A and B are shown apart, each in its own frame.
Chain A
Amino acid sequence: MGEAPLSWPDGNDRVPYWIYTDQGNYERELEKIFYGPVWNYVGLECEIPNPGDFKRTQIGDQSIIVVRDAEGGVNALVNRCAHRGVKICEQDKGSFSEIMCPYHQWTYDLKGNLQGVPFHRGVKGNGGMPADFSMADNGLDVLKVHVRNGGIFATMSDKTPPFETYMGNRILGYYDRELDGRSLSLLGHSRQRIGANWKLMLENIKDTHHASLLHVFFVTFGLFRVDNDSRVEMDDTGLHTALSSIRGKQELNDGTAQMRSFDSNLALNDPSLLDVVREFDGDQTVVMQTLWPNVILQQQSNTLATRQIVPKGPNSFELHWTFFGYEDDDEEMTARRLRQANLMGPAGLVSMDDGQILERTQEGILAHPNEQGVVELGGRGTDDADHMVTEVALRAFYKGYRNVMGL
Chain B
Amino acid sequence: MTITPELRSEIADLANAYALAIDDGELDRWPRFFASDCLYKIIAKENFDSGLPLGLLMCDSQGMLQDRMEAFSKLNVFGPRSWRHMLGAVYTTGSEKEISARTNFVIFETLAGKDTHILCAGEYRDIIIREHGALKFRERLCVYDTTMIPNSIVRPI
| Chains A and B form a bound pair | yes
Contact among B46, B60, B67 with A92 in the assembled complex (CB-CB below 8 Å): B46
A contacts with B: majority SS:
mixed
By a beta-carbon cutoff of 8 Å, the part of chain A in contact with chain B is 92-93, 186-195, 214, 216-217, 220, 266, 268-270, 272-273, 318, 323, 334, 338-339, 341-342, 345-347, 349, 351-353, 355-357, 359-360
Q: Mark B49-81, 1 if CB is under 8 A from A, else 0.
A: 010111111111111101110010011111100
Tell me, yes or no, whether B3 is within 8 Å of chain A by CB.
no
Tell me, yes or no, whether B134 is within 8 Å of chain A by CB.
no
Chain A residues with CB below 8 A from B42, complex form? 347
Given A347-B153, A352-B78, A191:B148 Cβ within 8 A: yes
What is the total number of residues of chain B having a CB less than 8 Å from a CB of chain A? 37
Are B76 and A355 in touch, CB under 8 angstroms? no
Are A341 and B58 in touch, CB under 8 angstroms? yes
Chain A residues with CB below 8 A from B151, complex form? 192-195, 346, 355-356, 359
8 sampled A-B residue pairs with Cβ under 8 A: A187-B53, A189-B47, A220-B75, A272-B61, A342-B68, A346-B56, A346-B151, A347-B57
What 18 additional pairs, Cβ within 8 angstroms, besides A214-B77, A270-B63, A347-B153? A93-B50, A186-B52, A188-B52, A189-B54, A190-B149, A191-B147, A217-B76, A269-B64, A270-B64, A272-B64, A273-B64, A342-B58, A346-B56, A346-B149, A349-B68, A351-B152, A356-B78, A357-B77
Q: Mark B103-144, 1 if CB is under 8 A from A, else 0.
A: 000000000000000000000000000000000000000000
Chain B residues with CB below 8 A from A356, complex form? 77-79, 151-152, 154
Are A273 and B44 in touch, CB under 8 angstroms? no
Q: Shortest Cβ distance from B152 into chain A, in angstroms?
A: 4
State the CA gap A338–B54 with chains docked (Å).
6
Q: Shortest Cβ distance from B43 into chain A, in angstroms?
A: 8
Are B152 and A192 in touch, CB under 8 angstroms? yes
Contact among B44, B59, B68 with A188 in the assembled complex (CB-CB below 8 Å): B44
Chain B residues with CB below 8 A from A214, complex form? 77
Q: Shortest Cβ distance from B45 into chain A, in angstroms?
A: 11
Q: Shortest Cβ distance from A349 into chain B, in angstroms?
A: 5
Are B53 and A334 in touch, CB under 8 angstroms? yes
Q: Shortest Cβ distance from B68 into chain A, in angstroms?
A: 8
Cβ < 8 Å to A, chain B residues 10-49: 42-44, 46-47
Closest partner residue, chain A, to B63 (CB atom): A270
State the CA gap A194–B148 with chains docked (Å).
9
Which 9 residue pairs are nearest across A and B when measured between Cβ atoms?
A188-B54, A270-B63, A269-B63, A188-B52, A188-B47, A347-B153, A216-B75, A346-B149, A193-B148
Contact among B55, B58, B149 with A193 in the assembled complex (CB-CB below 8 Å): B149
Tell me, yes or no, whether B94 is within 8 Å of chain A by CB.
no
Tell me, yes or no, whether B150 is within 8 Å of chain A by CB.
yes
Q: Shortest Cβ distance from A264 into chain B, in angstroms?
A: 14
